[in-house]
Structure 1
Amino acid sequence: MRRRAVAEGGYVHGYSPVEARRLNDQADALAALLHAGTTYPAGSRVLEAGCGVGAQTARLASGSPRAQITAVDVSEDSLAQARAHVAANVPEARVQWRCADLYELPFSDGMFDHVFVCFVLEHLKDPEGALEELRRVLRPGGTVTVIEGDHGSAFFHPDSAYARAAIDRQIQLQSAAGGNALIGRRLEPLLSAVGFADVAVRPCTVYADRARPGLVEGFTRNTFIAMVEAVRDNALTAGLTTRTEWDRGIADLYRTTEPGGTFHYTFFKAVAVNPGSPTHTRSTASGPWAVSCG
């Protein structure tokens, strides 16, 4: 779901086969962390907003095999890749595919029991407008689950000003494209502002070192560093860095994947309820949501 983002500069990561592979690597590496507790009952109507190439759709379908999933994206090309990916990995999946604009969904009010949104709001200039439309199609009492990252949560050893600068260039480019790579920290106020209730946000922390080689490879190398590397040409063209500074930054990021290196990043997972009434009083209880799920 990226029509407004495209109009204002484009999906900053691009639509190449390399990016599609990165998204699938990310979904595989983070499945246990991000999808823990996200299952939907048999027969429930679930909307995945902004399914992209289907990396998260496959996880939803395998985790809730009897739910009725509708996956929506604005790109026909992405939907074609998503269909193929899900068919190859979850052949019995019950998924309907729709090409539509997130801000003008072709669904009636209250049509869905649950809405799932993962790594979408960060690319939108108007995330509040998107959430308002998602609330419209969610029945009263239905839930929304939103997962986003926050590049400001990345820290690592050995520390490097060059590596931090490379990450900052990615943040700047995403902002110029109309998005926000720091949106994870905003989930509670965003959801509350558009009328969702019982908003509960928990941090999902990824920590990788030599004792966790799967995360070093699957997340640090193939997900995070690959994402930063992908904006190299745009960063140079925009005059945000020099080749020497950029290459040093990327080399220093890769140093965190070697023996003695460590890498940390936090995703934020929010669950909220559509109260169906503006007079609903939101719960302030935090309970176990306040602790890391990593």
Structure 2
Amino acid sequence: MTSHYYVHGYSERESVRLSDQANTLEELLHSDTKYPAGSMVLEAGCGIGAQTVILSRNSPQARITSIDISEESLDKAKERAAGQGVKNAEFRVENIFDLPFEDESFDHVFVCFVLEHLKEPVKALASLRRVLRTGGTITVIEGDHGSCFFHPETEAAVKTWNSLVEVQAKLGGNSLIGRQTYPLLKRAGFTNATVSPRMVYSDASRPHMEEGFVRRTIIPMVEGVRESAIEMGIIDAATFDHGIADLYRTAGEEGTFNYMFFKGVGRK
């Protein structure tokens, strides 16, 4: 987080998308993350607080410090937390690469959908390791856009999907980072690293996933890079728009959509 740039932008629509994503994937991604009473937890890159609310609910007696480089996002996070009765989290504007905390300040660190946006993810993890107490854990959750496949698969839909991957790469991020979770943790010095893939699958028999994940999370994420993808010459407007229309068909009566997240846990 060396700058305030975020590939998906800071619009109200993106805030809604992040909330829908967190709510839809809560059981899949958070069910096995609960911290003991009195634990000091650092949530790095909390954004608008969509994950913070879930962390707080699952570990109500832990003490959570949630940081982000965007003051705008933190304002939304504070409002969200207050509206949902969160009592055990504080929010601070901080840079993940220049943390002001003493060595070994936290029992646990939680990082979700952050590394994909960073040019130096190992450096970020090493910075977080410094403030983690010996024996403490780090939890990292990342998606991998290369794991996506869907039906119907059209040429325009594939090009539009891949334009998101290319935009993020040109901006210094890596939307294929999920598959690298294990080696990143190892390179940053964490031990006992374990990674579990978390698959999302949607079809008409799972209307909650069709609506919450495909229509309200995934497709708006792709739509968010339309202007950048066209300006960068990655794709033309007609193809992009055609591809978006085709992606919506994957949430139709005969559509299917598959995507993989990776959840890694390491220890200092």
- 1:178 is aligned to 172
Q: Deviations over 1:170-196 (max 9, x none)?
A: 111111111100000001000001110
- 2:248 is aligned to 254
Say whether the 8 Å CA contact 1:11–1:177 is kept in structure 2. Answer: no
Asked whether 1:51 is paired with 2:81, we answer: no
- 2:190 is aligned to 196
Q: Deviations over 1:144-183 (max 9, x none)?
A: 0000000001101111121111111111111111110000
Between 92-101 and 45-54, report the one with greater CA deviation: 92-101
Asked whether 1:11 is paired with 2:2, we answer: no
How far is the alpha carbon of 1:93 from its aligned partner? 2.4
CA-based RMSD of the aligned residues comes to 0.8
Secondary structure of the equivalent of 2:141?
Answer: strand
Counterpart amino acid of residue 211 in structure 1: S
How far is the alpha carbon of 1:5 from its aligned partner? 4.8
How far is the alpha carbon of 1:240 from its aligned partner? 1.2
Say whether the 8 Å CA contact 1:5–1:125 is kept in structure 2. Answer: no
Identical pairs, percent: 53
Q: Where does structure 1 differ by over 4 angstroms across 4 or more consecutive aligned residues?
A: none
- 1:21 is aligned to 16
Secondary structure of the equivalent of 1:263?
Answer: strand
How far is the alpha carbon of 1:92 from its aligned partner? 4.1
Q: Return the alpha-carbon distance in structure 1 between the equivalents of residues 54 and 72 of structure 2.
A: 20
Say whether the 8 Å CA contact 2:157–2:243 is kept in structure 1. Answer: yes
Secondary structure of the equivalent of 1:154?
Answer: strand
| CA gap 1:193/1:28 in 2 versus in 1, 3 angstroms | same
How far is the alpha carbon of 1:223 from its aligned partner? 0.5
Q: Return the alpha-carbon distance in structure 2 between the equivalents of residues 244 and 76 of structure 1.
A: 36
Q: Return the alpha-carbon distance in structure 2 between the equivalents of residues 5 and 181 of structure 1.
A: 18
Alignment gaps of 5+ in structure 1: 275-294
TM-score (norm 2): 0.98
Asked whether 1:36 is paired with 2:70, we answer: no
Say whether the 8 Å CA contact 1:5–1:178 is kept in structure 2. Answer: no
How far is the alpha carbon of 1:20 from its aligned partner? 0.7
Q: Deviations over 1:192-251 (max 9, x none)?
A: 011100000000000000111011000011100110011111111111111221111111
Q: Return the alpha-carbon distance in structure 1 between the equivalents of residues 27 and 71 of structure 2.
A: 29
Secondary structure of the equivalent of 2:25?
Answer: helix
| CA gap 1:269/1:118 in 2 versus in 1, 3 angstroms | same
- 1:115 is aligned to 109
Secondary structure of the equivalent of 2:146?
Answer: helix
TM-score (norm 1): 0.90
